[in-house]
Amino acid sequence: MSTQHQNLSSFDPKDLPSVEGKRFCIVVAEWNSSITYALLNGAKDTLLSHGVGESNIQIIYVPGSFELVAGASMAYQKSKPDAVICLGCVIQGETRHFDFICNAVANGLTQLSASHAAPFIFGVLTTDNMEQAQDRSGGKHGNKGVEAAVTAIKMTNLIDD
């Protein structure tokens, strides 16, 4: 794997556009909460450290990753944020449930982005085991929540161009 020893969350803060007046919603799954809450902390800290006001960050909790799509849709309909960041963690098990959940969430968020012409960010870990999830939620591969927030910031800039 080419990214085996890389911190994937590294970025140059100077490359990020202004977030002045931007509003963000973070929808986070409660399932695998030791992982998803670490993703949430990474995303929220990144938004705050780049100038997003606390009052411009809405956090919505949903039971699991499958519910991210419905939660994101409801949040967008209610408050029309500039971007919706969806955070979850699906860990491979012995059944095909993993495949169904991952595909449903990816396709659902893609459809939301296309139908609303707004960014719905896929910050869902799809790992083989808990160790891989930990490595990507603040461990040796960085924090996917940070990456999701950076992506959201960059995508909101496209709307303004």
d(CA 64, CA 110): 18
Active-site option among 5, 97, 116, 141: 97
Contact between 67 and 105 (Cβ < 8 Å): no
Beta bridge partners of 123: 87
Could you confirm whether 97 is annotated as catalytic?
yes
For residue 161, the tally of other CB atoms under 10 A from its CB is 5
The catalytic residues are 97
